[in-house]
Structure 1
């Protein structure tokens, strides 16, 4: 438990930042889910649009420190491969 004024303040700051990070992570997951659902439904145009809106959101998560850079790159790579497979099929 925090005892000093400084540690109490840090605990409050961490609590606020955790809430912000949680909201960001949730938002990113929502965008990714929209892309996955569009791929599963077979709608190439919707999947492409969803991917274009999800990419900047995921990269914003990287700059904010919510998602690791390699994780974001891997997710974008796999989703774009799925969208590309839809377009060719």
Structure 2
């Protein structure tokens, strides 16, 4: 029951958002904002694609050495 109310609320908010944009932002500006939003998303896609590609490579293939592991030495505390 709550899910239905939340869904209806989100749909109402989405419609209100679209109406506000249509009413108050001129068409020319709207097209520029949509284009810039698309470009931002494409930039994010490129970043994600690069990160996915790096995750597929074995660590030694990337040309970077893996950080040295830290091992604890034994400290003699006897007198």
Larger radius of gyration: 2
| TM-score bracket for the superposition, by shorter chain length | 0.3 to 0.5
TM-score by length of 2: 0.46
Structure with higher RCO (Cα < 8 A, 6+ apart): 1
Greater helix fraction, Structure 1 or Structure 2: 1
TM-score by length of 1: 0.42
